[in-house]
């Protein structure tokens, strides 16, 4: 795994947006896997800026989001549909027909629905660049601890930690969804390239376990160690518990020298 250490969130946002923009410029019809969460907000803002000021064109890009809360409509202020629309899609030119976000309102035939989401990823040729955040418990998407490392898109019960972390976004007294539809670890690992973003001290333990710990379903982000092309962009706070920071810096310098295409 290539680990890029950034001093602050601004550096992380710029680096992640640079990688996405350069992938879109190289292949305008890129299939892009997208994530939600506070960590991605600044990245979307930077991409919106690049669209407005530098003409970054998303008109042929196809997007697949990782997950959606189960049981809430797309216009609910906490839905990931709403998050994506407000923070990204309504400001850029991705064609509505090219946007895919799991539907949290399916009422029956869940397995069929989830299989159809997988099928649409396959029909698009697979995800070429997957952006990920990480939960405090090391989850990616909503693949909570003990998820199968071969899992596919499915209905997933949220862990207590995730419920506690995300409850504050819901109105007082409002019932928070207990489940989500999420792509699986197996699905994520099929992306050609993966970029994991982590910022803030609350992620330090999860980051260290994901990057330096054993591969374990207890920290589902650790499954990324099995993938041949993962770049982790981590700010100082989130990198605090990494033991190999100096080595990461050395690897990055040598990568820039010998295989700079890994940094595009």
Q: Is 163 in the site for ligand GLP (CB under 6 A)?
A: no
Window of 15-23, 37-45, 86-94, 229-237 that interacts with ligand GLP by CB under 6 A = 37-45
User: Per the residue annotation, which of 15, 46, 68, 144 is the catalytic one?
Assistant: 144
Structure tokens, 254: 């040598």
User: Per the residue annotation, which of 13, 15, 51, 67 is the catalytic one?
Assistant: 67
Nearer to ligand GLP, 44 or 142 (CB): 142
Contact track, ligand GLP, 170-199, x by CB under 6 A: ------------------------------
Alpha-carbon distance 218 to 221, whole Å? 9
137 is catalytic: yes
Window of 17-25, 36-44, 81-89, 232-240 that interacts with ligand GLP by CB under 6 A = 36-44
Applying the rule CB under 6 A, the residues between 87 and 146 that interact with ligand GLP are 133-135, 141-142
Alpha-carbon distance 117 to 100, whole Å? 8
User: Per the residue annotation, which of 51, 128, 139, 236 is the catalytic one?
Assistant: 139
57 is catalytic: no
161 is catalytic: no
143 is catalytic: no
Q: Supply the minimum distance, in Å, between the C-beta of residue 46 and ligand GLP.
A: 15
Alpha-carbon distance 93 to 90, whole Å? 8
Instruction: Report, as residue numbers or ranges, the catalytic residues.
Output: 67, 137, 139, 144
Using CB under 6 A, list all residues that contact ligand GLP.
Answer: 35-39, 66-67, 133-135, 141-142, 162
């Amino acid at each position: 795994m290539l680990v890029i250490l950034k001093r602050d969130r601004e550096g992380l946002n710029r680096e992640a947006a640079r990688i996405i923009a350069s992938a879109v410029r190289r292949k305008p019809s890129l299939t892009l896997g997208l994530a939600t969460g506070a960590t991605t907000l600044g990245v979307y803002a930077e991409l919106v800026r690049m669209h407005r000021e530098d003409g970054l064109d998303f008109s042929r890009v196809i997007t697949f989001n990782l997950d959606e809360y189960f049981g809430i409509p797309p216009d609910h202020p906490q839905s990931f549909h709403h998050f994506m629309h407000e923070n990204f899609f309504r400001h850029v030119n991705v064609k509505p027909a090219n946007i895919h976000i799991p539907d949290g309102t399916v009422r029956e035939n869940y397995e069929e629905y989830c299989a159809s989401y997988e099928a649409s990823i396959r029909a698009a040729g697979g995800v070429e660049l997957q952006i990920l955040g990480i939960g405090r418990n090391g989850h990616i998407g909503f693949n909570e601890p003990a998820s199968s490392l071969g899992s596919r898109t499915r209905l997933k019960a949220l862990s207590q930690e995730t419920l506690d972390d995300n409850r504050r976004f819901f109105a007082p007294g409002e019932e928070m969804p207990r489940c989500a539809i999420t792509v699986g670890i197996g699905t994520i690992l099929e992306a050609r390239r993966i970029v994991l973003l982590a910022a803030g001290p609350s992620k330090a333990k999860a980051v260290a376990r994901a990057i330096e710990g054993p591969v374990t379903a207890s920290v589902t982000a650790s499954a990324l160690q099995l993938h041949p092309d993962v770049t982790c962009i981590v700010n100082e706070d989130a990198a605090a518990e990494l033991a190999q920071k100096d080595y990461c810096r050395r690897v990055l310098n040598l990568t820039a020298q010998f295989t700079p295409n890994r940094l595009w």
